[in-house]
């Protein structure tokens, strides 16, 4: 038995029952039976001891003299252990429409961080990304396959940048479905992740098309809400299309919880208010041709009419594609890829293969090499040839298939495949592969010195 052989340190004297040829070493039957009984008893003791302690992983492989050391199990904190925090308050609710607003969140969060030894950290601010899709299967023909690819894209970006991804497929409030579903899960994520400084919402139909670009969090010091927008449409024309609510970054603080509560009060969780807001938004915002209050028109109104309060804590990003409109991006992706390759052919350090864990170090070197050579801002923009951080397929509706009639099926489908393949190539490179062509799902191996070797073979 394995237990007996592992118990070698607990052995009895080998002289009992030994047999010598001839002379006084020969023992009688009674003596041999007693010897066997001793051996069987010792083996039984050893096996019993191992059965009691072996399954609990208490053998100390580093023990001295072959002794068995019992490890004291580490106690698991329970409800009665450790300092009490906001989690122990039954009045604290994760629900977005609980009838009672959460107050004192900054102090509650700070106390929780101190109680876990996380009060003062020199590490970069932690980000939790939140995304999601509907709970039921996609009605569109290839919807579920596309949702899997969009999810894989976010997983790739988060893995490379040390970001945790929370992907939700449930309606946390039954009335807050569709585009309103983001608010309950973002609010709940703040409470469930007090160690995160930022919560980053990214729509399911948004693709990360620059795996190198990291959020410039230092740029947003003193701001609590970051959203992409067009200043002329937003500030001057007061268009409900002046901002895009499909991607936003929100700081984990009391200001943000209050802001999310105000935003939610314009939604279907409050039916009477929701109907009234639909009429107000249509009368107030340009281009709004429906009495239904959507999350984006509500956000535009909330910020425009309260700019002295929430506006001062809001950053409208315009310098890079925090989210880029896909019609402005897709046709440029091949040209972007060609310019990146041209730069790397002249940069020997960037041609080396490397571990995926070193991605950010090489991303920094690549961005330094591109600066001043490839026009446009890092993270992409309306001008230039830099990779866009995010390409957003608004109107294509990959899950439902009910795309905006202004877009053809081919333009949406090919555009999504093109952007996803463009992003995948940046990930596959660390594994020595890339796609055979922009709209080809097969892959080919890369020469060791790619792309310089690729150039020599042309």
Write down the pLDDT at residue 354: 85
Distance of alpha carbon 222 from alpha carbon 429, whole angstroms: 38
Q: Which of 283, 87, 324, 332 is nearest to 195 (CA)?
A: 87
Say if residue 451 is preceded by a cis peptide, omega within 30 of 0: yes
Q: Which residues contact 386 (CB under 8 A, 6 or more apart)?
A: 210, 336, 370, 374, 375, 376, 377, 378, 379, 380
Percent of the chain, pLDDT > 90? 62
Cα 150 to Cα 21, 259, 352: the distances in Å are 80, 29, 29
Q: Taking the CA atoms of the chain, what radius of gyration do you get in angstroms?
A: 31
- Nearest-angstrom CA–CA distance, 414 and 190: 36
Residues 186, 127 contacting (CB under 8 angstroms) = no
Q: In what order do the strands lie in the sheet with 206-208?
A: 206-208, 390-392, 324-325
Rounded Cα gap, residues 350 and 452, in angstroms: 10
SS (H, E, C) 58-81: CCCCCCHHHCCCCCCCCCCCCCCC
Asked if pLDDT for residue 323 goes beyond 90, the answer is yes
Query: Under the phi-then-psi rule, with left for phi > 0, alpha for psi from -120 to 50, and beta for the rest, what region is 290?
Result: beta
User: Which domains are present in the chain?
Assistant: 2-20+27-66 (no CATH), 105-204+214-319 (3.90.550), 326-457 (no CATH)
pLDDT value, residue 55: 39
pLDDT at 18 over 70: no
Cβ-based neighbours of 285, under 8 Å, separated by 6 or more: 238, 239, 240, 297, 300, 301
Residue 62 has pLDDT above 50, yes or no: no
Q: In terms of Cα–Cα distance, which of 331, 417, 391, 368 is closest to 210? A: 391
Q: What is the pLDDT of residues 396-452, one digit of tens each?
A: 999 988 889 999 999 999 999 999 999 999 999 999 999 988 888 899 998 888 888
- pTM of the model as a whole: 0.80
Token pair, residue 347, equals: 């940069």
Give 150: exposed, middle or buried? Use CB within 10 Å, 0-12, 13-18, 19+: buried
Percentages of the chain per state (helix, strand, coil), in multiples of 5: 45, 10, 45
* Distance (Å, whole) CA 278 – CA 292: 5
Whether the per-residue pLDDT at 455 is higher than 80: the answer is no
In tens, the pLDDT along 237-293 reads 999 999 999 999 999 999 999 999 999 999 999 999 999 999 999 999 999 999 999
Predicted pLDDT at 206: 98
Strand partners, 324: 391
Q: Are strands 243-251 and 198-202 parallel, antiparallel or unpaired?
A: antiparallel
């Amino acid at each position: 038995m394995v237990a007996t052989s592992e118990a070698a340190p607990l052995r009895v004297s080998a002289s009992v029952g030994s047999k010598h040829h001839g002379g006084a070493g020969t023992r009688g039957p009674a003596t041999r039976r007693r010897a066997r009984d001793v051996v069987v008893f010792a083996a039984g003791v050893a096996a019993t001891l191992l059965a009691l302690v072996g399954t609990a992983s208490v053998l100390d492989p580093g023990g001295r003299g072959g002794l068995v050391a019992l490890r004291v199990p580490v106690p698991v904190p329970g409800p009665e252990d450790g300092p009490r925090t906001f989690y122990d308050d039954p009045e604290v609710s994760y629900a977005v429409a609980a009838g009672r607003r959460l107050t004192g969140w900054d102090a509650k969060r700070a106390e929780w961080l101190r109680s876990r030894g996380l009060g003062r950290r020199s590490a970069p601010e932690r980000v939790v990304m939140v995304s999601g899709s509907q709970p039921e299967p996609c009605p569109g023909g290839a919807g579920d396959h596309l949702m899997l690819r969009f999810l894989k894209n976010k997983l790739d970006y988060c893995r490379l940048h040390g970001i945790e991804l929370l992907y939700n497929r449930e309606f946390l409030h039954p009335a807050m479905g569709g585009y309103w579903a983001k608010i309950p899960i973002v609010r709940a994520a703040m409470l469930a992740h007090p160690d995160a400084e930022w919560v980053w919402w990214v729509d399911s139909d948004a693709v990360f098309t620059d795996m190198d670009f990291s959020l410039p969090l230092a740029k947003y010091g003193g701001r609590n809400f970051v959203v992409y927008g067009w200043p002329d449409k937003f500030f001057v024309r007061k268009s409900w299309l002046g901002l895009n609510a499909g991607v936003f970054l929100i700081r984990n603080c009391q200001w943000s919880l209050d802001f999310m509560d105000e935003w939610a009060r314009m939604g279907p969780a409050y039916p009477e208010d929701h109907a009234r807001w639909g009429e107000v938004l249509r009368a107030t915002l340009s281009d709004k041709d429906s009495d239904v209050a959507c999350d984006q028109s509500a956000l535009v109104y909330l910020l425009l009419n309260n700019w002295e309060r929430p506006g001062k804590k809001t950053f409208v990003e315009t310098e890079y594609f925090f989210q880029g409109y896909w019609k402005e991006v897709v046709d440029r992706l091949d040209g972007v890829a060609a310019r990146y390759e041209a730069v790397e052919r002249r940069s020997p350090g960037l041609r080396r293969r490397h571990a995926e864990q070193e991605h950010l170090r090489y991303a920094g070197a690549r961005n330094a090499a591109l600066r001043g050579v490839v026009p446009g801002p890092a993270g992409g923009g309306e001008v230039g040839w830099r990779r866009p951080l995010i390409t957003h397929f608004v109107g294509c509706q990959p899950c439902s298939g009910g795309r905006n009639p202004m877009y053809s099926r081919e333009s949406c489908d090919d555009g999504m495949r093109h952007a996803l393949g463009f992003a995948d190539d940046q990930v596959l490179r660390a594994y020595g592969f890339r796609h055979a062509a922009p709209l080809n799902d097969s892959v080919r191996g890369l020469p060791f010195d790619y792309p310089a070797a690729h150039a020599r073979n042309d």
